[in-house]
Amino acid sequence: MKRRKFLKATGAGFAATGLAGILAAHRAPVFAQANTVHILRWNDFVPAADKVLREVYVPEVQKALGIKLNVETVNANDIPARATAGIQSGSGPDIIMLLNNYPQLYAAGGVDVSDIAAEVGKAQGGIYGLPESMCKVGKQWVAMPWATVPALIAYRKSWFDEIGVKEFPKTWAQYHEAGKKLKAAKHPIGQTLGHTFGDAPTFAYPMMWSYGGQEVDAKGKVVLNSKETVESVKFMTQFWKDAHDEGGLAWDDSNNNRAFLAGDICASLNGASIYVAALNGADKFKTEKGAPLHTDILHAPLPAGPKGQYAYHTAFTHMVMKYSKNVKGAKEFLRWAHTPANYEKWLVVQKGFAVAPTTQWEKHKMWEADPVMLPFKTASRAGRHMGFAGAPDKKAAEAWNKYIIVDMYANAASGKMKPEESVKAAAAELAKIYT
Amino acid sequence: MGAGSAAAAALPGERVPVTRLKRMLESEKVLASTLLAPGILILVLFIAYPFVMAIWYSLTSIRVGDPGEFVGFDNFTKAWSDTIFQVAFKNTVFYTFWATIFKLALGMWLALLLNRSFRFKRIIRASMLLPFIIPTVLSAFAWRWMFDPTFSVMNWLLFHTGMIADRLPFLSNGDWAMWCAVLVNTWRGMPFFAITLLAGLQTISPDLHEAAALDGANSWHRFWHVTWPLLMPVTLVVVVFSVIQTFSDFQLIYVLTGGGPANSTHLVATYAYQVGVASGLLGEGAALSLFMFPVLFAVVWVQLRYMKRMEGH
């Protein structure tokens, strides 16, 4: 075909299907009406789960609903900046995955998804209390719970056996004693007290609660500076020095995974990602005796303090953004993703690292596959929210975001402040929020 | 054929039609304004508008998704009494002061070395710019790995050469972490100093050095009494640029330490980000960041005064 002929033919074709066609049809062209949903999520610690989103959800939701799903993943620590930028500029992802009680902080930017929550909760045995408290503002659900990552201690059974601890310590005092011996044997406990979203707060808050400390009372009055909180910080300061890898002050949420898999630490509070990585890389990660590392890993809850045993599990939720041009499509996608047949595809690859927000999934056969993961099955039933005994509202989210409780322990553990000073400083910071 | 060439081709005495626009542009004032307009527009859109918005935000209780209300100077007084902000401000001054001193000293030393003749001079001069060219986020990640509390290659080297028995707390101790940040900033910024000072050195006539040498001046005297005074204007400009960039640095700390451990390495910019963007308190974040303005304004003012005085001389 000659160039002139080609241009003539394509030009005529364009004209026929182009402007004239649009005018004749009295509607916008198809590409302008594309039902696209842009979802922003974290880089999952179980990469296979992101693969399911991209390789299974994308084609299937296109086929089922005609939705073109655009999946974007970023470091979880960067999500708040994206949410703020999106809400303030009025443009960005249609759905943003939020952590913990961020839905409270960004409530003004999310649409009401109470209808989806009611449908999913009713059909799947009810939504757990912890994610519900994160997502509800008054009676309205401003975000839809997607999953919870329970925080349990992953530990090396053989190393605990070697020091004569056959069962994981039930109390902080017992854990301290075991940790001392393990650190002396060059197997310290690994725990982050750094500025990072997951493992640092999920450790620091329950530690405080287990001694009877709390940020505020039920009326929202700051009561942090108490004898109980000071006791917990005093304990942690000594525990840190005696039993921990002190580099943990600069760790993010991935350092403990690497240190554990490298055989540097004996235990760490974590989701199940350490175990899942060891399981998936059985040939790569070995014990010093050459056995697959995963065969030497067990899970246990955080020990109890003088005032009880507590946990905080990280809630992952989806907020449909008010500024979205496709709220309908975004909600349709969420509804579709939560139907058991679709949700299951994502959940099973998590192998228990993330658990469902509804109780029905405790009965899933995936829990029969691996007894090591069993403690995660029901972990979501318990758990306290940040800001206890007040609400997990935006003030609690602000306190978390400023790492006030984490830094209270870090300041004392690092020797920068005395425990009493550290608690006093943290209480003063909290008082500025709870005015 | 354009109008200009038509005019050029016109016969003497023949009247050439002049468009209204052309007549307007013949006025120097109009032409200057027209040429300046795009630049002014860019300045207004991308510098003045955000700056004015930041001032407005700092005077309101705006938070993410909530326009808030006018609160006067409340955000500033809150920031002033904020102990973390006080730490961040001190850190910023410390970080800027030491990083600038090191960059100047090492940059000057490097420039003097590179001003000499040696083999592969051009390749070495070009390669020296690498730290400056690599995106800061990437290089900061590389440094973070080198300082990693568990897997630091430096700790590994020092341990295996028998120089240390325990790991050094590069990023897990607040003081160490701050010095690590100063080191990385120096590494990144030194090439800018070196190249700029080298350009300045090359404008100094060798005759002056020869004359000084003939008068018996040794190399230190020649540097102190010839090179240094002549390099002063360039040095001042480069120092001012560096102070501005270092004082408002964000990326390096954000990637290297995130402001930790326990806020020990927060700078004003990273803390303003944490409050304003990560916590959604836009008004408070804007007020925190505006505390940088008077300091940077003073630096620029001193520089402009000095330049003016130099021009007078």
Distance CA B149, CA B172 (A): 7
Cβ B264–A262 below 8 Å, yes or no?
no
Distance CA B207, CA B5 (A): 51
Nearest Cβ partner of B65 from A106, A410, A428? A106
Residue B305: predicted pLDDT: 85
CA distance A293 to chain B (A): 19
Choose, out of B49, B63, B64, the residue to mutate when testing the contact with A (most A CBs < 10 Å). B64
**Residues from chain B contacting residue A88 (CB–CB below 8 Å):** 64-65, 282
pLDDT tens by residue, A305-334: 999 999 999 999 999 999 999 999 999 999
**Residues from chain A contacting residue B278 (CB–CB below 8 Å):** 80-81, 84, 401
Does A28 score more than 60 pLDDT? Answer: no
Q: What is the value of pTM for the model shown? A: 0.83
What is the band of B3 on the pLDDT scale with cuts at 50, 70, 90? very low
Among A15-29, A189-203, A245-259, B70-84, which stretch is predicted with the lowest mean pLDDT? A15-29
Locus of tokens 């854990």 = A175
Residue A294: predicted pLDDT: 96
**Residues from chain A contacting residue B174 (CB–CB below 8 Å):** 414, 416
Kindly report the CATH number that applies to the domain delimited by B84-269+293-312. 1.10.3720.10
pLDDT tens by residue, B102-135: 999 999 999 999 888 888 888 888 888 888 888 8
Cis upstream peptide for A392 (omega within 30°): no
Residue A204: predicted pLDDT: 97
CB neighbours of B289 closer than 8 A, spacing ≥ 6? B54, B268, B269, B272, B276
Most confident of A25-29, A183-187, B43-47, B120-124: A183-187
The yes-or-no answer to whether A30-150+313-381 and A152-312+402-433 have a common fold is yes
For chain B, state the CA radius of gyration. 27
Does A249 score more than 50 pLDDT? Answer: yes
What is the band of B58 on the pLDDT scale with cuts at 50, 70, 90? very high
Does A12 score more than 70 pLDDT? Answer: no
Residue B95: predicted pLDDT: 97
pLDDT tens by residue, A52-99: 999 999 999 999 999 999 999 999 888 999 999 999 999 999 999 999
Taking residues B199-223, report their average pLDDT: 88
Distance CA A190, CA A269 (A): 8
Q: What tokens appear for A143 in the block?
A: 């975000």
Distance CA A288, CA A93 (A): 46
Which residue type does A155 have?
Answer: Y
CATH of A30-150+313-381, one of 3.40.190.10, 3.40.50.2000, 3.90.79.10, 3.10.129.10: 3.40.190.10
Choose, out of B82, B86, B150, the residue to mutate when testing the contact with A (most A CBs < 10 Å). B150
Does B282 score more than 50 pLDDT? Answer: yes
Most confident of A231-235, A254-258, A312-316, B156-160: A231-235
Contact criterion met (CB below 8 Å) for A68 and A62:
yes
Residue A402: predicted pLDDT: 87
Does A9 score more than 80 pLDDT? Answer: no
Does B2 score more than 50 pLDDT? Answer: no
What is the band of A8 on the pLDDT scale with cuts at 50, 70, 90? low
CATH of A152-312+402-433, one of 3.30.70.260, 3.30.470.20, 3.40.50.300, 3.40.190.10: 3.40.190.10
Cβ A255–B149 below 8 Å, yes or no?
yes
A206 burial type by CB count under 10 A (0-12 exposed, 13-18 middle, 19+ buried): buried
- Domain(s) labelled CATH 1.10.3720.10 in chain B stretch across 84-269+293-312
Which residue type does A40 have?
Answer: L
Residue A383: predicted pLDDT: 82
Distance CA A33, CA A21 (A): 15
Distance CA A213, CA A233 (A): 10
Cβ B149–A411 below 8 Å, yes or no?
no
What is the band of B313 on the pLDDT scale with cuts at 50, 70, 90? low
pLDDT tens by residue, B248-275: 999 999 999 989 898 999 999 999 999 9
Most confident of A228-242, B114-128, B193-207: A228-242
Q: Is B60 helix (H, G, I), strand (E, B) or coil?
A: strand
Locus of tokens 């409530």 = A107
CB of B285 within 8 Å of a chain A CB? The answer is no
Q: How far is CA A352 from CA A11, A327, A373, in A?
A: 57, 31, 6
Q: From the CB of residue A161, how many other CB atoms can be counted at a distance below 10 Å? A: 11
Contact criterion met (CB below 8 Å) for A73 and A47:
no
Contact criterion met (CB below 8 Å) for B171 and B262:
no
Among A130-134, A247-251, A291-295, B5-9, which stretch is predicted with the lowest mean pLDDT? B5-9
Distance CA A308, CA B306 (A): 67
CB of B282 within 8 Å of a chain A CB? The answer is yes
CB of B151 within 8 Å of a chain A CB? The answer is yes
Residue A2: predicted pLDDT: 52
Taking residues B203-226, report their average pLDDT: 88
Cβ A401–B150 below 8 Å, yes or no?
no
Taking residues B273-288, report their average pLDDT: 92
Most confident of A174-188, A269-283, B19-33, B124-138: A174-188
Cβ A255–B174 below 8 Å, yes or no?
no
Q: From the CB of residue B144, how many other CB atoms can be counted at a distance below 10 Å? A: 21
Cβ A245–B149 below 8 Å, yes or no?
yes
Residue B21: predicted pLDDT: 78
If contacts are CB pairs under 8 Å, which of residues 250-269 in chain B contact chain A? 257-264
Q: What residue ranges do the domains of chain A occupy? A: 30-150+313-381, 152-312+402-433
What is the band of B28 on the pLDDT scale with cuts at 50, 70, 90? confident
How much is the mean pLDDT over chain A? Answer: 91
Residue A45: predicted pLDDT: 87
Residue A94: predicted pLDDT: 97
Cβ A250–B149 below 8 Å, yes or no?
yes
Taking residues A223-250, report their average pLDDT: 96
pLDDT tens by residue, A139-153: 999 999 999 999 999
pLDDT tens by residue, A392-422: 998 998 898 889 999 999 999 999 999 999 9
Distance CA A311, CA A80 (A): 24
Nearest Cβ partner of A194 from B82, B169, B260? B260
Q: How far is CA B139 from CA B131, B255, B256, in A?
A: 8, 10, 10
- Measured at the CA of B29, the angle between CA B27 and CA B31, to 5 degrees, comes to 70
